[in-house]
């Protein structure tokens, strides 16, 4: 039904308009009592799907990537579609509108999306107020810096977000890999990245002691455009900073082999979807093999089928995330992936 009826209608709309329409529709339908129907249609409950990763128990390994529910407005409702975890954000200390519109583009011929949203969000403190309410699913907090914050002061923004979210999320993701905030990817260099991660680790210990609880897992989200030498640096940084894992990968700035018209394919921003499938899996495999599986990896990028998901798990991912695949394939994809995982393990 999704691909025959719902998607054709949504794709008549501008991409960002369709996103807001979908958001409002899911919220309305949930309030009208359709949550139970969604759970019946899309969720799979089976102990064999459960995963324990970086000290957390996930009811299944399929999560929603950051960017869909930036401001933590729909995490409970989205969990009704069968996700094992939801990642909110990217959140910044201060609200910011992001980049000028038009900034979200569908590449139908490539089953892909280009976005240059630019960390548009209502600010971390606004999200916290919503997170104080009931949570029915594990929540990841994806954090970044404001556009106006210079890189030399970036760590302050990450610490502000970390402190604000600490009591309300289950794990953190440090986003230094979005191509849509000027200069942000420079923070992936070894010295500034190590500095940010080590300071977050110290803050993690301090807050755990303050609240008399456990430290929260900290993950690093990396770009698919890193060279092998840079990926080796990432492995070194993860080990030296003693963070808990990596999310591989964010969107790409690469445009090779696209079928879409040049005027569309060359729009600035990060490319996601099927063109990223192979590269993100390569990065997962490289990190897993070269690190000798020293840390967990969440695999994301171009998952549009159960087979895509299985390939990322086989390459070394412990968990996976969807975004563009969720938009193109619909919520049924989550159940198909979980079913395939069960069939493979039986």
**Residue 96: burial class (beta carbons within 10 Å; 0-12, 13-18, 19+):** middle
Helices 306-315 & 332-345 angle (0-180, nearest 10): 50
The neighbour count for residue 330, using CB atoms within 10 Å, is 16
| Contact present, 196 and 159 (Cβ < 8 Å) | no
Q: Can you read off the two tokens belonging to residue 15?
A: 């991409």
Q: Which residues are catalytic?
A: 178
């Amino acid at each position: 039904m999704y691909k025959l009826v719902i998607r054709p209608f949504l794709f008549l709309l501008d991409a960002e308009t369709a996103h807001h329409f979908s958001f409002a529709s899911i919220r309305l339908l949930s309030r009208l009592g359709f949550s139970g129907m969604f759970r019946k249609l899309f969720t799979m409950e089976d102990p064999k799907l459960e995963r324990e990763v970086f000290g957390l128990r996930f009811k299944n390994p399929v999560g929603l990537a950051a960017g869909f529910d930036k401001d933590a407005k729909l995490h409970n409702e989205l969990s009704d579609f069968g996700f094992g975890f939801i990642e909110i954000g990217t959140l910044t200390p201060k609200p910011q509108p992001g980049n000028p519109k038009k900034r979200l583009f569908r590449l139908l011929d490539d089953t892909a999306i280009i976005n240059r949203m630019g960390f548009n969000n209502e600010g971390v403190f606004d999200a916290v107020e919503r997170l104080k309410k009931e949570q029915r699913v594990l929540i990841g907090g994806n954090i970044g810096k404001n556009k106006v914050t210079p890189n030399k002061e970036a760590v302050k923004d990450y610490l502000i977000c970390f402190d604000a979210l600490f009591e309300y999320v289950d794990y953190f993701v440090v986003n230094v890999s979005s191509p849509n905030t000027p200069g942000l990817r420079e923070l992936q260099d070894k010295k500034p990245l190590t500095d940010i991660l080590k300071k977050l680790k110290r803050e993690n210990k301090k807050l755990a002691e303050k609240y008399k609880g456990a430290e929260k897992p900290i993950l690093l989200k990396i770009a698919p455009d890193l060279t092998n030498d840079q990926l080796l640096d990432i492995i070194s940084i993860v080990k030296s900073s003693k963070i808990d894992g990596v999310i591989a990968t964010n969107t790409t700035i690469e445009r090779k082999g696209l079928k879409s018209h040049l005027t569309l394919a060359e729009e600035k921003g990060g490319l996601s979807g099927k063109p990223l499938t192979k590269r993100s899996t390569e990065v997962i495999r490289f990190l897993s093999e070269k690190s000798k599986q020293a840390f967990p990896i969440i695999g994301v990028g171009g998952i549009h089928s159960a087979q895509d998901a299985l390939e990322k798990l086989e390459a070394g991912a412990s968990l996976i995330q969807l975004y563009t695949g969720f938009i193109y394939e619909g919520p049924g994809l989550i159940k198909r992936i979980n079913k395939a995982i069960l069939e493979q393990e039986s």
